[in-house]
Structure formats: structure tokens, C-alpha cells
Chain A
Amino acid sequence: MLNIWIVTRRELSAYFTSPLAYVFIVIFLSLAGGLTFFFGQWLERGQADLQVFFIYHPYLYLFLIPAVGMRLWAEERKSGTIEFLLTLPVTTGQIVIGKFFAAWVFAGIALVLTFPMWVTVNMLGQPDNGVILAAYIGSWLMAGGFLSLSACVSALTKNQVIAFVLASALCFVFMMSGVEIIQSFFRAWTPQTFVESIAELSFLTNFSEVSQGVIDIRDLVFFLSVIGIALYVNAAIVEAKKGV
């Protein structure tokens, strides 16, 4: 555990010593706010909730989360520091988890910084703060899911741009797998049960329930399993790609 924490701390400080952290936070906050006010017509709706705020999170994460995750391994491999890191007395698993946590905590910090939205809605009316908290947790879990996929892809390449593009594409597939276009693509040549199970993998479907304040244990299990499996694959990729 201590090793994971040491790695997490180093990685987190790496985010904040580069401009990436600040650029990310500024863009995330502006987009999240802008979408809520202008596209979601939050004020015009006259309802004291944050539904239109959370509804855009999956789309924001689609390209912002791969930007956070792309450097995790690609940078280490490009600069050769992976050799330095993996010859320290830490296991690959501890490093994989530590790095993921750092990125996840970072995404959490960005999410927490949207608190003025929550303050505003509480000044304007009496929202159900339990629903809002549940939606925040759900959004953070979804960010974790996207991040674990991005970290996994980042381990495949030395090039951060490739990592970003591939991670965005993979996140898109996971997000949209419940949507008709993707469904019809698979329906043509796979059995019905497979198509249904793909739909179950959809981030969008799983998140939409959580964002309405219903934390179903299945959604929790879903996001945590995606994270767990992606990190397991991530560690396997790191091990396999060491000598290359």
C-alpha cells in the first residue's frame, strides 16, 4: 500500500509541475459550465437540480480524460524512465495502480472544482443534495473507467498523440455501446446475447441512472470492474512491452 501511495504522490506532483494540470482544469471548468448554461439552458429550465450539468460529462470525458491518461506510460517509455522506475523495489502492479490513482485523484480535483455550480443551485432553490452527491460520485466513477482504458492504451505506445487518439476511440466504443449505431453493427453478425451484453457495457447507460441520483450496486460494480480489468490488462502490457 505504501508503495502505491509513494507512486501516486510522485505522479500527482508531476501533473501539477507541468502546465497540463492547469490547462486541463481551466478547459474542463469552462466547458462544463458553458455547456450547462448555454446548451442545457440551466437557468431557463427553472429547476433546482444539476441534471443538465451532469448530462454532458460523458461527452467532456470522451476527449478530456484520454488527455489526462495519455502520458501515464507513453511518456515513461519514450524517455526511458520506465527502466529506472521498474528497477526500483516496487512491483509493476503497484506502479500501475499508483499511476492510475494519481490520474483519478487529479480528475476528482477537477470535478470538485465545479462546486460553484452546487453553491449556485443551492442559492437559487432547494435541490436534493443527496441526488447531487450521488451524481458526483457516479461522474467520478465514470472518469475512472475512461482513465483506466486510457492508461491501458498509453502502455501500448511511446507516442502520446497515438495514445490520445486510440484512447478516445476506445472510450467512444465503451460509451456508445448501448446506442443503436453500434448495436446494429454487432447485431448483423453476432448472437443476440452478445449484443445485449455489449449494451450492458455502455458507460452512457450505466451513467444515466447514476446521474439521476440512483446509485445501483450494479452500476458501481460495473465501473469498478471496468477499472479492475483495464488495470490488469495494463500491467500485462507493461510487462510484455518492457524489452521492446
Chain B
Amino acid sequence: MTTLLDIRGLTKSYGPITAVDNVSFSVDQGEVLGFIGPNGSGKSTTMKIVTGFLAPTMGAVEVGGQDVTRYPLEIKRRIGYLPEGAPLYGDMTPLSLLKFVCKVRRLSDEQTKYGIDYAVEKLHIANVLYQPIETLSKGYKRRVGLAQAIVHEPELLILDEPTDGLDPNQKHEVRELLKEMSGKKAVIISTHILEEVEAVCSRAIVIAKGRVVADDDPLSLQSRSRLHNAVGIRIPAGQAQACIDVLNDVEGVQQVRRSAETTATVELLAVAGHGNEILGNVRNAMEEKGVTVEEIFVERGRLEDVFRDLTYAVEGLQQDPDFNPETPNA
């Protein structure tokens, strides 16, 4: 695997404010890196530095072994970039915009034709090619923005909130496209949508207040959740209290919560201490006490919890009481 992007000690400050604080990571070919973090955490700034829009205050950024500040044009040729909000020239049509981008990127006529055909087909924008971009819906604008980023088949694709403003079907299509393209390229996407990280990313970096607070694959990140290996069970409403008492006595169970309720059934969640496996113990206890279990499942953990845990402290916010293990049992 070749390393396409290598960032070492990257720092960017605006006067007294440090937007990006000593960030280091690298991305290999074939990786899809999810860049997640709260608003204002430095995701966009980092992307803007990699794409050569902003100059770093300190640190080095190399794309394919070339330094961004020394070879800005060479690197811009190798990168496809969708800036946040997909800003595009409203007076142009998607076709004229794509042609403009191909010209600036010095693609041959053949490459231009192939690239435009490919991007238009992949992003389903054939029916709006001749309409001014300013008259298009948000979803179409976003797809035109994506089209201009992939038209020259870049080695490194950087997308700042690519699915923001798309409907669920369009989101799905963009994710499929990202998966399909990831093979030969490295892709970096920033997002708030954590399901997206689970769906497409092979790796996730959590950034808060300009610092990297986690760098792992999505599954390992999930396992950091307090709910990792928690066991959920659905039982008839009448047996709820009895069942809670039973669960509280099961070895390894730290806490029992009521997670959902209907008139007929109650869903309980037995949280395991330190993410230990408790499924066997819970199942045995249920059988012993003769509780009618309608459904039983193991939680892999929620990325959202991990995200909150990782970023709340750094951001100086109060932890959500719901995720505090000292909360009294249900």
C-alpha cells in the first residue's frame, strides 16, 4: 500500500486561536477515511490546508511524497476536492462547469469526454446538464460539486460534508459511489453523520478542538462505547420489574435500563461493565427464572456515544447524564 497523504505536526492558528493543533496522520491508497468532529473542530481547516487553499502555520503536509507548500500546482492536479457547501458558479451549466474544470486540469479531449461521461453517469446529472446551476435543487448542486471533484480521476479525493443536504436515496448513492471508487484512490470525507462512517469508512479520525482524539477503524471505535456488548431483551410488560431484579443480579451486569416501552412489551438493556461479554450469563439467568424473552440481541456499541464521550471532555462541555455510569439503575 502506498501512502498518499502524510500529515505531520500540522498546526494552523489565526492570531490567538489555534484551529488545528499538532495533527498528524497518514492515509494509504484504498482507504476511506472518515473525518469526524463537532462544528468548528478543525476538520474543514485541515482539508483546506491539504488542498492548498490555506497555508499551514507549522507542520508538513505531503501528497504522494510532495510537499503541498512547495509544489502546490502538482498537488492540486492530483486532488479532487469538494469544498463545504459545494460552492459553484451559478451562472454556468453543469456541462460548461465540468468542461472548464477539465480545461484547467489540462485533460486531453479524450480524457475530458471520458471523465465527463463517467461523472455524469455516476452522479445521475444527465437531465440537468444544460440548466444554469443556480436553478438546480440542493441535491443536484451537491452532485454537480461531486462530479467536478471526480472528473479527472484524482488519486486523492477530499470531500467536505459530501452528503449534507441530500435525501436518503441520494445519500445511499453517494456512499455506493465512494465505496466503488475507493479501490485505487484514497478518500477523505468529513461528516457529522456517524452512520456514514459505519457505512463507508475503513477508518475514522475523531477531531475535537483541533486535536486528534481517536484514530481507529469504525468497529474498534464502536467497541469503546459504554454500550459495547450490552444485551438488549424484549419481554412482556407484566414481567418487567421481575426481570430487572433478575438482571441486576447477573454477574457482569453493571446497570439495567429501560430502553423502549410499548403497552404490551418492554425493552431492557443490560449494560456490561468494561464491555465484557455477558450474553451467556443473561441468557442462562432468563432461562433459570423462566422469563419469556421475545427477543434478545447484543449491542455492538453506538458510534454516537463514543463520539460524545471523546469530544465532550475536550470541548469543555458537561457529559450527557444519560451516559454517566453512576446513574442509578432503572
Contact = CB atoms under 8 A, between A and B. Distances in A.
Nearest to B152: A89
10 contacts: A13-B92, A18-B91, A79-B87, A80-B83, A81-B89, A89-B77, A89-B105, A90-B73, A90-B104, A242-B53
B85 A89 contact: no
B103 interface: yes
Contacts of B100: 6, 10
A80 B53 CA distance: 12
B61 interface: no
Interface string B169-198: 000000000000000000000000000000
Given A10-B100, A88-B101, A89-B105, A83 B87 contact: yes
Given A3-B104, A6-B100, A243-B14, A87 B52 contact: yes
B104 A89 contact: yes
Nearest to B85: A80
A6 B103 contact: yes
B266 to A, nearest CB: 50
Interface string A83-123: 11011111100000000000000000000000000000000
B41 interface: no
A43 interface: no
Given A6-B100, A80-B84, A87-B51, 8 more contacts: A10-B100, A17-B92, A83-B48, A84-B87, A87-B76, A89-B106, A242-B54, A243-B14
Contacts of A242: 53-54
Contacts of A84: 81, 83, 87-88, 148
Interface of B: 14, 48, 51-54, 72-74, 76-77, 79, 81, 83-85, 87-92, 96, 100-101, 103-106, 132, 148
Contacts of B74: 89
A87 B79 contact: yes
Contacts of B14: 243
A68 B301 CA distance: 58
B190 to A, nearest CB: 14
A14 interface: yes
A222 B73 CA distance: 33
B104 A88 contact: yes
B53 A14 contact: no
Nearest to B104: A88
Interface of A: 3, 6, 10, 13-14, 17-18, 79-81, 83-84, 86-91, 242-243
Contacts of A6: 100, 103-104
B76 A89 contact: yes
A13 B89 CA distance: 11
B91 to A, nearest CB: 5
Contacts of B92: 10, 13-14, 17
Contact of B89 (A14, A89, A90, A243): A14
Contact of B91 (A3, A14, A86, A88): A14
Contacts of B48: 83, 243
Nearest to A244: B14
Contacts of B106: 89
A17 B88 contact: no
Contact of B105 (A80, A81, A88): A88
A16 to B, nearest CB: 9
A87 B81 contact: yes
A24 to B, nearest CB: 16
A242 B74 CA distance: 20
Interface centre among A13, A17, A83, A91 (most CB of B within 10 A): A83
A87 B48 CA distance: 9
A32 B65 CA distance: 58
A83 B90 CA distance: 15
A185 B212 CA distance: 58
Nearest to B45: A243
B53 A87 contact: yes
B214 to A, nearest CB: 27
Contact of B54 (A80, A88, A243): A243
Contact of B53 (A3, A13, A83, A91): A83
A91 B91 contact: no
Contacts of A83: 48, 53, 83, 87
A81 B87 CA distance: 5
Contacts of A14: 89, 91-92
Contact of A81 (B76, B84, B88, B104): B88
